[in-house]
Amino acid sequence: MSLTANSSRDTVPGSTTLWLESARKHRFALTLVFLLILPWLMPYEALAVNILIMGLYALGFNLVFGYTGLLSFGHAAFLGTGAYACGIAIATYGIGWFGGIVIGTAVATLTAAVMGVLAIRTRGIYFAMVTLALSMCVYYGLYQMQWLTGGENGLRGVNVKTISVLGLELPFINPTVKYYVVLAFVATAIWLFSRLLASPFGAVLEAIRENEERAKACGYDVARTKLVVFIISGAICGLAGALNALHLSIVPIETLHYTTSGQAVMMALLGGMGTFFGPFIGAATFLLIQDVASSMTNHWQLFVGMIFIGFVLFFPRGIWGSILHWLEGR
Amino acid sequence: MKTHSSTTRRNVLKGSAAAGVAALVSPQLFSIARAQTAPIRIGFPVPLTGPFGAEANDQVKAAQIAVKEFNDAGGFEGRLAELMVRDDKLNPGEAATRTLELIEKDKVNFIVGSLSAAVQLSINNVSKERGVIFNSISQSDAINEAKDWSKFTFHEALNPHITAGAVGRYAFGKFGKKVAFLTADYAYGHEMVRGFQRVGKDFGIDTVADIRHPIGATDYSAFLPRIQALQPDILCLCNFGRDQVISITQATEFGLKGKTKLVAPVLLYTARQAGGDAFEGVIGGTSYYWGLESQIPSAKALNDKFRAANGGAVPSDYGALGYAGVRSILEAVKAAKSTETEKVIAGMRGLKYDWYKGPQYYRACDHQSVQSVVIVESKHKDQKDKNDVFSVVSIEAPDEAKLRSCDELGHKA
Amino acid sequence: MIGGFTLDLIALQLVTGVALGAIYVLLAIGLSLIFGLLNVVNFAHGAFFMVGAYVGVFLFGLTGNFWVSLVITPLMVGGLGLVVERFLVRPLYGRGIDYPLLLTFGLSYVMVEAVRITFGLTGLRLPTPPELRGAVNLGIGYFPLYRLFLIAFTGFIVAALWYFIERTRYGLIIRAGASDPEIVQVLGIDIARVWLVVFAIGTGVAGLSGILAAPLQGVTPEMGVPVLAEAFVVTVVGGMGSLGGAVIAGLLVGIVVAMTSLVAPDMAKVAIFTLMAVVLLVRPRGIMGRAGGMG
């Protein structure tokens, strides 16, 4: 496999500019700054919120894909169950918005645990296919449960007009307020993510990705570590799903489809897999290209496709990966 | 933490303070209050790309005719209409995002559009929460029901209940009582079956099979031997678009037409063109067929305008709905002498109109457009040209009694 | 009678399943061949299938003869495959499995859109050849002649491919190249040319299944999308890279779909993915799979 390992370059001495080192140390702060100003860079706020949520989704996926070397094709199941559980809690059972987010994340975590236990012993392309098959079972399962999920029509009525935070009523319907409320959750998640990577657990991940056999020989419980990573990744994607339900006020059944899993792969690859900031760059690029191209031409898929091909051929490290590589090469 | 905490005055003040701060830091820093001469903006999300791209492009062309008509007549107090077309990609999530864009960034006055049940419900949910009128131009029963409906919701298109009912009333008396159903397994398909069954009770039909197939299936051969063995008088194909083309093609291949009459609640003009001779003899319902022009003057008027603007092409069923959906709103603006939402709602509720297919009006309780259903039969051998695909065999006049009652839909009297 | 169905109906349903499986088999063979020998997961496989149907309609319009189109279509689609392999896929060998996957994903977008621009959005038709219209009595009931032809023709193609790979000199080189590319290179054989040919055969067969499916389901730019997922399932169930596995799994999936459709029609699609999940959990490499993949 040819995963772009970048964190191992942390130790490369010499010409690597000092500020790049410090940037890596403050990766969370720098990502946060980018996300704080994102709405000003985007044509409209709803798109910025989409980027935030899909970026978090790609970040969660990247933990499994870029940092551990497992190609999953079933992450839509976590985004989807997170969204449905949060949406159903709010729309059907009248639970508050915060409770909805907690429930959504919890249900997605549970789904990840079940899928992980079943899938983790397969490897390579078969891991991708088992996760794909299991996530499609989730898709068809929820599709058939029309009384609960709305089936093909999707779940409607996840309507949250105002939210109260510490006694303050915020108009969630205002797009700017909505963006920063969502950002608060996303920021918390990526801060935890950053801490995780810096912890001893992060070092184990790196060891597994570099050489699974050697990691095993060193006494690491590889299977269990992979399972834990898979579950954490599912939780992050579930949070993204719950936020998406609040953002769109609906949950489309398409959220669970394998094409949504494919999107995570595309965004991670486009941004630069195994990089901290890459998923957000990937999500922003992916959604922005589609948005801009589709408002200019009905044939937007032609251009999106060609851009993909161009990236694979000429920038295989992804956007952020290529930038890092170029900076390091100087 | 609860969403619906009691709204004390203090909270409201805090809330508006927060809103004020939000407005200050909003990216749209200088959102200038709209002047009197500002255009009347109509958001138009339709699936320009994807399997219904042909219909969606037709919807846009027809909607543009309504806008041009309005503007050529001077607009409303000098304000011209502007159509803001967006591609919803046939995806409810994309549609919700685009609707947010149209409302929050483009500040549209109204929204018209959609070409799928799921997408219209998504647009409806977003726009009703923000108090923006949405006139839906695609079919669904759910949007009429109290759970999804709001006073901002209008439904220009037919719904499965009316369409299936009309087709059933026509077919069950003529072709026999032994009926089989082949249904796409989603809400829209189930709604059509329900419509047929309701009418079927009056006719005393015998349902010999009710088979659900996955939506988007490419092969129906696995269902057809069983249907063939049952030898029904009528096979109702409760599916849509590509599913319909493929299932009719394969039913013909299996030789079902020998003993069984094929019936489709919604027979699409474009699907018929794509399906070709396999459609021969298939009976179905539609909201509009250009051939109505021989008996209905307003249909002739729309066709002529459409032909002039599009090199002789005629509008399809869903295309014509794009025209009607936009025109209803613009006429209501004129009638209400205002673009304010509440007044335009009142204006639309008061409309008695004939834009393209004979008399119509919106029912008071659910804003469903009460209208005629056209029953057509597919031609083949005696086609005059490529547009001449149907013959109109019956027109069921608009009648509120044929709709599900307001009570049944959950609307308080 | 079993469960309310006559034995004749069940038998007929079985035949239906085999006919259904025939298309799956052809699709999966191409996918499996390309994966097994090139280690490329071809996400544009459905697009090649779709292009095959369009090329078929186009040639039929020119020649008015279904059989001529049937012969030329796979050659033309295979030719397109040659170009794609040479200029797009070849630079990616040795870079891991993700990059060809992403590239072919992008390529499928381009192919679908190019077809939309060239042939329009509405879709076209390819009439069933007159010789194969109608239904024949199998003793258990009437069955469409065209679908019987489909079963026989698939059998012929599978036999021909098997002979080519297992019994010819070139097939030997292909098999050797799959198990050890370096040795083959040392022996002075241009392995790049072998891969080129394999990619062309795989995409050519995809194009062939496209023209064969066209009379059954019509021709639309999106027709490759659902097919891709199903072809993946069949390939994985059979074991990626295994010709025999693709045949067995294709027929198995066809029969499972047909039988589920009889008993619980709305579960027909779930059944495909449940089958795949079960097979993979019990036998992670598929029915006939070898060790391999990217693990």
Nearest CA in chain A to B122: A250
Nearest Cα of chain B lies from the Cα of A149 at a distance, in angstroms, of: 12
B24-51 per-position pLDDT tens digit: 444 443 444 444 578 999 999 999 987 8
Angle between helices C224-238 and A124-144 (to 10 degrees): 130
- Nearest by Cα to B164 from B81, B267, B67, B258: B267
Q: Which residue has the higher pLDDT, A25 or B287?
A: B287
How far, in Å, CA of C52 to CA of C265, rounded?
30
Q: Name chain C contacts of B211, Cβ cutoff 8 Å.
A: 265
Sequence-ordered strand ranges (E) for chain A: 155-156, 162-165, 168-171, 250-251
pLDDT digits (tens, 9 = 90+) for C260-277: 888 888 787 788 888 988
pLDDT at A250: 97
C45-63 helix and C66-84 helix, angle to the nearest 10 degrees: 140
- What's the pLDDT at B279? 92
Q: Do the chains contact at A175 and B11, CB–CB below 8 Å?
A: no
Contact B53 C116 (CB under 8 A): yes
Residues 6+ apart with CB under 8 A from C75: C204
Q: How far apart are CA C22 and CA C44, in angstroms?
A: 20
- The predicted structure's pLDDT at residue A13: 46
Q: CB-hemisphere CA count at 13 Å for B397?
A: 1
Measured between alpha carbons, how far is A219 from A116 in angstroms, rounded to an integer? 22
Dist CA A136 CA A76 (whole Å):
9
Alpha helix segments (H runs only) across B267-382 = 269-275, 297-309, 317-336, 341-350
Reported as a single tens digit per residue, the pLDDT across A160-207 is: 999 988 888 999 999 999 999 999 999 999 999 999 999 999 989 888
Chain-chain contact of B250 with C223 (C-beta, under 8 angstroms): no
The token pair that represents A116 in the structure block = 């992980």
pLDDT, tens only, C65-95: 999 999 999 999 999 999 999 999 999 988 8
The residue behind tokens 């003869």 is C65
Helix A18-25 and helix A318-329: axis angle, to 10°?
140
Q: Which residues pair with B45 in a beta bridge?
A: B86
Complex ipTM value = 0.91
Those residues of chain A whose CB sits closer than 8 Å to some CB in chain C are 1-3, 71, 118, 121-127, 129-130, 132-134, 136-137, 140-141, 144, 258, 262, 265-266, 269, 273, 299, 301-302, 304-309, 311-313, 316
Separation in Å, CA A162 to CA A175, B3, B105, B122, C220:
12, 7, 20, 20, 46
B3 pLDDT more than 70: no
- Residue B179's DSSP bridge partners are B207, B234
CA angle C165, C169, C174 (to 5 degrees): 50
Q: Are A169 and B11 in contact (CB under 8 A)?
A: yes
Chain A residues with CB under 8 Å of B100 CB are 44-46, 175
The answer to whether the CB of C209 falls within 8 A of the CB of C27 is yes
Higher-pLDDT residue of A209 and C251 is: C251
Residue B4 pLDDT exceeds 90: no
Confidence of residue C2 (pLDDT cuts 50, 70, 90): low
Q: What is the dihedral of CA A126, A130, A133, A139, to 10 degrees?
A: -140
pLDDT per position as a tens digit, B336-393: 999 999 999 999 999 999 999 999 999 999 999 999 999 999 988 788 888 899 999 9
Percentage, residues of chain B above pLDDT 90 = 75
Nearest chain C Cα to A309, which residue? C103
Cα–Cα dist A59/A75, whole Å:
11
Interface test with C, best of B253, B256, B280, B316 (most C CBs within 10 A): B253
Q: Of all helices (H) and strands (E), which one includes residue B396?
A: strand B390-396
Instruction: Check C6 against B229: CB less than 8 A apart.
Output: yes
Which residues of C are less than 8 Å from B57 in CB distance? 121
> How many whole angstroms separate alpha carbon B241 and alpha carbon B284?
13
- Which residues of C touch chain B, with CB atoms under 8 Å apart? 5-6, 9, 12-13, 16-17, 19-20, 23, 116, 120-125, 127-128, 134-135, 141-144, 146-147, 213, 216-218, 220, 222-223, 226-227, 257-258, 261-262, 265-266, 268-269
Chain B residues in contact with A151 (beta carbon < 8 A)? 186-187
Residues of C whose CB is below 8 A from A140: 269-270, 273
What is the identity of the amino acid at C144? P
The Cβ of residue C142 has, within 10 Å, a number of other Cβ atoms equal to 15
Mean pLDDT of chain B: 89
CB pairs under 8 A between B and C: 104
Q: Which of A197, A168, A194, A193 is nearest to A180 (CA)?
A: A168
Query: What pLDDT sits at residue B34?
Result: 45
DSSP string, B212-267: EE-TT-S--TTTHHHHHHH--SEEEEE--THHHHHHHHHHHHTTGGGT-EEEEEE-
Chain A residue nearest residue B106, CA to CA? A44
Q: What is the DSSP string of A39-93?
A: HHHSS-HHHHHHHHHHHHHHHHHHHHHTTT----S-THHHHHHHHHHHHHHHHTT
What is the CA C80 to chain-centroid distance, rounded? 16
The β-bridge partners of A171 are: A162
Per-residue pLDDT at A206: 85
Give the torsion sign (CA, B326, B331, B334, B339): negative
Q: Which of B87, B93, B117 lies closest to A254 in CB terms? A: B93
What's the token pair of residue B294? 């021989």
Which chains contact A through at least 3 pairs of Cβ atoms less than 8 Å apart?
B, C
Q: Report the chain B residue with the minimal C-alpha distance to residue C128.
A: B253
Yes or no, beta carbons of A133 and C277 under 8 Å apart: yes
Report the first-to-last Cα separation within chain A, whole angstroms. 26
In whole angstroms, give the CA distance from residue B221 to residue C16.
6
What proportions of chain B, in percent to the nearest 5, are helix, strand and coil? 45, 20, 35
Contact list, B219 vs chain C (CB under 8 Å): 20, 23, 216-217
Q: Say yes or no to pLDDT of C135 above 60.
A: yes
Distance between CA atoms of residues B52 and C122, nearest Å: 8
Q: Is B48 on the interface with A (CB under 8 A)?
A: yes
Question: Is residue A34 within 8 Å of A55, Cβ to Cβ?
Answer: no
Mean pLDDT to the nearest integer, B140-161: 96
Q: How far is A60 from chain B (nearest CA, A)?
A: 20
> Contact C134/B255, CB-based, under 8 Å?
yes
| Prediction pTM value | 0.90
d(CA C89, CA C71): 26
- CA C22/CA A280 separation, integer angstroms: 44
| pLDDT band, residue B65 (cuts 50/70/90) | very high
Q: Which of A318, A282, A319, A289 is nearest to A303 (CA)?
A: A289
Looking up tokens 């010409």 gives A15
Please, which residues bridge with residue A89 across strands?
Answer: none
pLDDT digits (tens, 9 = 90+) for C3-36: 667 888 889 899 999 999 999 999 999 998 898 8
pLDDT at B75 over 80: yes
d(CA A198, CA B203): 73
pLDDT at A3: 37
Q: Looking at residue B101, what DSSP letter applies? A: I
Chains that touch B (3 or more CB pairs under 8 A): A, C
What is the pLDDT at residue B222?
Answer: 83
Closest of B218, A75, A124, A64 to residue C41, by C-alpha: A124
Q: Which residues of chain A have pLDDT under 70?
A: 1-17, 330
User: With an 8 Å Cβ cutoff, is B201 touching chain A?
Assistant: no
Q: Using the beta-carbon criterion (under 8 Å), do C142 and B255 form an inter-chain contact?
A: yes
Inform me whether the pLDDT recorded for B16 exceeds 80. no
| Mutation to test the B interface, candidates A51, A147, A152, A158, most B Cβ within 10 Å | A152
pLDDT the model gives residue B31? 41
Beginning with the edge strand found earlier in the chain, give each strand of the sheet holding B234-238 in spatial order. Answer: B206-213, B178-184, B234-238, B261-266, B283-286, B373-378, B390-396
Residue B23: what pLDDT?
47
DSSP chain C: -BTTB-HHHHHHHHHHHHHHHHHHHHHHHHHHHHHHHH----TTHHHHHHHHHHHHHHHHHHH--HHHHHHHHHHHHHHHHHHHIIIIIGGGTTS-SHHHHHHHHHHHHHHHHHHHHHH-SS-B--PPPGGG-SEEE-SSSEEEHHHHHHHHHHHHHHHHHHHHHHHSHHHHHHHHHHH-HHHHHHTT--HHHHHHHHHHHHHHHHHHHHHHHHHHH-B-TTTHHHHHHHHHHHHHHH-TT-HHHHHHHHHHHHHHHHHHHHH-GGGHHHHHHHHHHHHHHHSTT-SSPPS-TT-
Whether A174 and B27 lie within 8 Å, measured CB to CB? no
Contacts of B24 (CB under 8 A, 6+ apart): none
- Please check whether residue C155 touches A, CB under 8 A: no
To the nearest whole Å, the CA of B197 is away from the closest chain A CA by 20
Q: Tell me what pLDDT residue B177 has.
A: 94
Nearest to C96 by CA among B73, B94, B154, A274: A274
With CB atoms and an 8 Å threshold, state whether C110 touches A269: no
Question: What pLDDT score was predicted for residue A6?
Answer: 42
Q: Please give the torsion angle defined by the CA atoms of residues B402, B404, B406 and B408, in that order, rounded to the nearest 10 degrees.
A: 150
Chain A partners of B54 at a C-beta cutoff of 8 Å?
Answer: none
